[in-house]
Structure 1
Amino acid sequence: MRRFLAPLFMSLSLAAPALAHEDGHHDGVMVEHPWARTTGTMTRAGAVYMTVKNGSHEMVTLTGVATERAKAAEIHQSSEEGGVMKMRMLESLPIAPGETIEFAPGGYHVMLIGLTEPLKEGDVFPVTLTFDKAGNVPVIVTVTGMDGMKGGHGEHGDHHKH
């Protein structure tokens, strides 16, 4: 039995990097290019960014986010008011049919509160987004350097900047 398990575990460990940065989709909702920036060793919070597309013919609402990488995960929106950046928690985020929402620095993001450990470049971790009509959409988040995801489309870059 051990002869068969060792090769299985080896192949799974080799496949893990290929699963990194895994997009998710369910019932017309597509989540693409999930990523997070590295955090400092003393930082207790982080943020996840991605692109969410509603390819269905009806309104869907993002109602929650979960990950074991933090004590809490919340939908947040940053915006500038009177020259000052403010951040607020959203209970939910409606997405119209055919609409694409960019979760990017300075805008919508998933706030990770009470990180279980710092986010280090190259780390990958699962996040589950919950939608009212599409259910749970699991994705794999890739942690990048402080510059975030920049570069060409192959690196999922410029569309994350605002």
Structure 2
Amino acid sequence: MRRTFRHLAVAAPFALASLSAFAASSGAITVSDCWIRSMPGDTPSGGYFKLANASNKSIDLDSIDTEAFGMAMLHQTQSSGSTSKMVMVDKATVPANGTLAFAPGGYHVMFEKAKKPLTIGSTIPVTFKFGDGEKIDAQCAVKNAAGQ
């Protein structure tokens, strides 16, 4: 029994540190589950995450910035019948006391002009900028095309 508690005491800080690498908050907004799809060569990469708004007013995500890429743009996939297209958007609104998911087939970030090849399993620092002036720095995991 004593040994189990000792293992937990040693493992707990590492588990908490790994969680904090993928969730960040400041004020009313929390960013979690952030990941970037690794693509070959100069192919643009998609970025995905979840936003949670704990305030009683909607908050706009205005932009995303990272030193790892030359450009980051907010996009939304729009479908019409059997065709889909990506459309650049100026902002994405996180509803009051609600959530907004950036996921394949919906809202996403297009990261272009990678400054160096992405390594699956690494993390990339990303800054999220909101309409109320709030900025959140988060670490986004680099994953393969299947999100693993």
Q: TM-score, normalised by structure 1?
A: 0.75
Q: Which residue of 2 aligns with 1:50?
A: 49
Are 2:5 and 1:33 equivalent residues in the alignment? no
Q: Which residue of 2 aligns with 1:95?
A: 94
Alpha-carbon distance in structure 1 between the residues aligned to 2:116 and 2:20: 18
Alpha-carbon distance in structure 2 between the residues aligned to 1:75 and 1:47: 10
C-alpha RMSD of matched pairs (Å): 2.0
Runs of 5+ consecutive residues of structure 1 not aligned to the other structure? 1-16, 150-162
* Helix, strand or coil at the partner of 1:79: strand
Could you report, residue by residue, the CA deviation over 1:105-137 in whole angstroms, capped at 9, with x for unpaired residues? Answer: 111111101111232211211010101225101
Alpha-carbon distance in structure 2 between the residues aligned to 1:85 and 1:28: 33
The answer (yes or no) to whether the contact 1:128–1:138 under 8 Å persists in 2 is yes
Q: Which residue of 2 aligns with 1:104?
A: 103
Alpha-carbon distance in structure 2 between the residues aligned to 1:58 and 1:97: 4
Give runs of ≥4 in structure 1 deviating > 6 Å: none
Q: TM-score, normalised by structure 2?
A: 0.82
- Name whichever of 125-134 and 100-109 sits farther off: 125-134
Aligned identity (percent) is 27
Q: Which residue of 2 aligns with 1:74?
A: 73
The alignment of Structure 1 onto Structure 2 pairs a total of residues equal to 133
* Helix, strand or coil at the partner of 1:91: coil
The answer (yes or no) to whether the contact 1:28–1:134 under 8 Å persists in 2 is no
Runs of 5+ consecutive residues of structure 2 not aligned to the other structure? 1-16
